[in-house]
């Protein structure tokens, strides 16, 4: 039950005289005493609705005891999502890291299974489609031609092991770039029609339907995987046929920048069990280019050896001259020289006496004597 009362206060008070449970008196401000009953009723309805809302909140608190149902209580805080701090490091930076390194290692690593890569014996003939220089650790091959590479291990790797081949640039100023085919070869229909390999990949595998071409989503590096197969009976090697699909001189691609081929033995989850690395050059005439590179290296070695020998000779002569000067100034030893023939003996005696007298004369007298001899020669 609600009672309307006019007065000087605007608060809600409980009625002390009401017998009805929950009854209260709603006091109106004094300036509303002169209004009509219709407006008083409107004020009563508005005030009663506000009081009803407060009564609902009080009843909810009484029903739940001392537990608060505010949206800011502890239970709500436990179930809500905490807003990230603006000073916190973004976890996505680390969650999105690639499992493969940004700069692959090119250091040879035999690993626990003594992993090794080798090539068949090849020649430098002009007709050769590929050739390998053991002195330079460098492969020369024609574009899109079959190049067999031999894989060898001493102990079997784990099940589902794979062989990965990845190209990287050799020089430090280019190593962060991804090695890809030039736009001309990538967009051309030649060597691309009917191929399962992506057109941008430089290395392809021939004759293996299980080959998988991979491009890292973070680093963008491209590689090709094939399952490791043990050697057949009576052989030591497992042979993989590779194709290289762009020339080293192609503009927009390698552009004459030297590249390395990194061949790794890995588990299925990417753990490296062995690594071998060699340089590769894709060109029109592998035999000619190999011969030219080897001749250039030999000439360079000869030049370096000759320079080092000349330097050694000069140093040794300087040491000998300094030793002789020291002996002349400090040596007091006496030597006996056997001489055959009196004439030669008397001549050597005169030379000996002249040298001894020369040591006794002052330097100024010796210089004047030499000047006189030069003047006599000029007059003649």
- CA 218/CA 100 separation, integer angstroms: 9
Question: Counting beta carbons within 10 angstroms of the beta carbon of residue 253, is it exposed (0 to 12), middle (13 to 18) or buried (19 or more)?
Answer: buried
Measuring CA to CA, how many Å separate 17 from each of 4, 70, 134, 266? 13, 34, 114, 92
Q: Which helix (H) or strand (E) holds 256?
A: none
Measuring CA to CA, how many Å separate 323 from each of 5, 299, 328? 131, 36, 9
In whole angstroms, what separates CA 32 from the centre of its chain? 84
DSSP letter string, 292-328 = HHHHHHHHHHHHHHHHHHHHHHHHHHHHHHHHHHHHH
Contact status, residue 40 vs residue 4, Cβ threshold 8 Å? yes
Contact status, residue 200 vs residue 164, Cβ threshold 8 Å? no
Placement of tokens 């000779």 in the chain: 313
Query: Which tokens go with 43?
Result: 């004020």
Torsion angle (degrees, nearest 10) of CA 119, 121, 124, 126 = -80
Classify residue 245 by its DSSP letter: -
Q: Is 277 annotated as a binding residue?
A: no
Long-range CB pairs of 132-137, under 8 A, 24+ apart, other chains included:
132/278, 133/290, 133/293, 133/294, 135/294, 135/297, 136/279, 136/290, 136/293, 136/294, 136/297, 137/278, 137/279
Placement of tokens 């899109």 in the chain: 144
- CA 133/CA 129 separation, integer angstroms: 14
Q: Is 336 annotated as a binding residue?
A: no
Q: Is 185 annotated as a binding residue?
A: yes
Mark the binding-site residues for Zn(2+), compressed into ranges: 182, 185, 246, 250
Mark the binding-site residues, compressed into ranges: 182, 185, 246, 250
């Amino acid at each position: 039950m609600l009672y309307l009362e006019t007065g000087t206060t605007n608060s809600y008070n409980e009625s002390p005289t009401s017998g009805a449970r929950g009854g209260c008196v709603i006091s109106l401000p004094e300036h509303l005493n002169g209004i009509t009953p219709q407006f008083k009723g409107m004020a009563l309805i508005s005030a009663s609705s506000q009081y009803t809302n407060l009564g609902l909140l009080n009843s909810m608190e009484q029903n739940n005891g001392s537990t608060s149902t505010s949206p800011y209580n502890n239970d709500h805080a436990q179930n809500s999502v905490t807003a990230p701090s603006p000073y916190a490091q973004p976890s996505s930076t680390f969650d999105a890291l690639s499992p493969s390194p940004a700069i692959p290692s090119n250091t040879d690593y035999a690993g626990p299974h003594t992993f090794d890569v080798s090539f068949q014996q090849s020649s430098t003939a002009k007709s050769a489609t590929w050739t390998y220089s053991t002195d330079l650790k460098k492969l020369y091959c024609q574009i899109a031609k079959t190049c067999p590479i031999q894989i060898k291990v001493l102990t079997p790797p784990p099940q589902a092991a794979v062989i990965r081949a990845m190209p990287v640039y050799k020089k430090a100023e280019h190593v962060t770039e991804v090695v890809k085919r030039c736009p001309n070869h990538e967009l051309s229909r030649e060597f691309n029609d009917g191929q399962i390999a992506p057109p941008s990949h430089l290395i392809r595998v021939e004759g293996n339907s299980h080959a998988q071409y991979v491009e890292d989503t973070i680093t963008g590096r491209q590689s090709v995987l094939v399952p490791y197969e043990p050697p057949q009976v009576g052989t030591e090697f497992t042979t993989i046929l590779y194709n290289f699909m762009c020339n080293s001189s192609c503009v927009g691609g390698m552009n004459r920048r030297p590249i390395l081929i990194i061949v790794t033995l890995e588990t299925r989850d990417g753990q490296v069990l062995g690594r071998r690395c060699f340089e590769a050059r894709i060109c029109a005439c592998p035999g000619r280019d190999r011969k030219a590179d080897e001749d250039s290296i030999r000439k360079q070695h000869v030049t370096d050896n000759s320079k080092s020998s000349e330097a050694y000779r000069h140093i040794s002569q300087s040491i000998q001259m300094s030793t002789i000067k020291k002996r002349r100034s400090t040596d007091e030893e006496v030597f006996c020289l056997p001489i055959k023939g009196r004439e030669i003996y008397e001549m050597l005696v005169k030379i000996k006496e002249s040298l001894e007298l020369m040591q006794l004369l002052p330097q100024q007298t010796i210089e004047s004597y030499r000047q006189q001899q030069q003047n006599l020669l000029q007059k003649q």
